Amino acid sequence: MSQHNTQKEVHLISRPRGVPTRENFEVVEADVPSAGGGEILVRNLWLSVDPYMRGRMNESKSYVPSFELGEPMEGGCVGEVIESHQEKFSVGDYVLGNKGWREYWTSDGEGVEKIDTKVAEPQNYLSILGLTGMTAWVGLNKIGNLKDGENVFVSAASGAVGSIVCQIAKIKNCRVIGSAGSADKISWLKSEAGVDEAFNYHDTDDVSATLAKLCPDGIDLYFDNVGGDHLAGAIDQINNFGRIVCCGMISGYNDEKPKPGPSNLFKIIGKRIRMQGFIVRDHQDLQAEFQKEMGTWVRDGRIKWEETVTDGIENAPQAFIDLFGGDKMGKALVRV
């Protein structure tokens, strides 16, 4: 049984307009649920905060349902089983689930995965070895068909997904150009991630011209995390038959009115560009292949990753808000 009768949960209490604020969230004291027959009770240790959650805060149809107001939000989490009425899980198991933004949860085990904490730290299953790493790997290899030696541009390059994309492309002997939002991030990209060129997009009002200077041979693959001027700049500088992997377009997530698309989109035709979006959860069949390859790279020290940790579930809303302008590096995590 849990040692506590009550727990903290984070609720969305109003739908953000523009960039979310602390006022959109409430930390609520609630009863710890009890595990019934066939269920487990899990104490959360780590929560993931992710940009896609911003879309779920709106009331609109998407590939995932909107968060309900006045209910605990959901999201990736890692916790420890503290009570089990299930054969599949024992007390003391560490598990990966999707009931973040709260301290305790119950489940019948559907969609819950055991993780091996001898292989990696529990929180790594929310970053490098979890959906974050897999997004980078699927996007580059399966959607982008990355080939050895290509010229690759990555936006939000020091972020959770972007930092892994840059390093996978370097493992494949590509020339990698990254963009990010601060001098520290640029310096990390060059000295730790080993990218060939990186620029702070706040220092330029012309991403296309900056790319033209940094990619004299053009771009073969653009991994888009940002959209907006980054996407337009990449379309300008991409080579014939180039590919654009549309992973995310965070620059537009807080727009109250969508901005018009890139005015140079017509270049897709003449340059025969292939532009494709994807959702990592559609590619669960590739999980074993991903884990094997990424596990090897991690073990061999070929991939580095950063985690920016916020302590306390009550600070989860700020950790989320900071995705849109804070100075976090790599994967944003909350230690419960």
Distance between CA atoms of 287 and 114, rounded to whole angstroms? 14
H-state helical runs in the chain: 53-56, 131-137, 160-171, 183-191, 207-214, 228-237, 267-270, 287-299, 316-321
- Least CB distance to ligand NAP at residue 226 (A): 4
Binding pattern for the stretch 75-114 against ligand NAP, x by CB under 6 A and - elsewhere: ----------------------------------------
- Residue from the set 16, 20, 51, 144 that interacts with ligand NAP by CB under 6 A: 51
Work out whether 323 is an interface residue with ligand NAP (CB under 6 A).
yes
- Residue from the set 44, 124, 127, 251 that interacts with ligand NAP by CB under 6 A: 251
Work out whether 50 is an interface residue with ligand NAP (CB under 6 A).
yes
3-state secondary structure of 179: strand
SS3 of the chain: helix, strand, coil, percent, to 5: 30, 25, 40
Residue 40: beta bridge partners? Answer: 84, 107
Restricting to residues 118-137, name those near ligand NAP by CB under 6 A.
132, 135
Work out whether 156 is an interface residue with ligand NAP (CB under 6 A).
yes
Which residue number, 116 or 282, has a Cβ lying nearer to ligand NAP? 282
Which residue number, 41 or 226, has a Cβ lying nearer to ligand NAP? 226
Q: What DSSP assignment string belongs to 228-297?
A: HHHHHHHHHHEEEEEEEEE---GGGTT-SSPPP--TTTTHHHHTT-EEEE--GGGGGGGHHHHHHHHHHH
Size of the residue set binding ligand NAP (CB under 6 A)? 28
Which of the stretches 47-55, 60-68, 77-85, 266-274 binds ligand NAP when contact is defined by CB under 6 A?
A: 47-55
Binding pattern for the stretch 275-304 against ligand NAP, x by CB under 6 A and - elsewhere: ---xxx------------------------
Work out whether 161 is an interface residue with ligand NAP (CB under 6 A).
yes
- Least CB distance to ligand NAP at residue 3 (A): 33
Asked whether the beta carbons of 19 and 321 are under 8 A apart, the reply is: yes
Tokens of 15: 């739908």
Can you state the angle between helices 228-237 and 207-214, rounded to 10 degrees?
A: 40
- Least CB distance to ligand NAP at residue 313 (A): 19
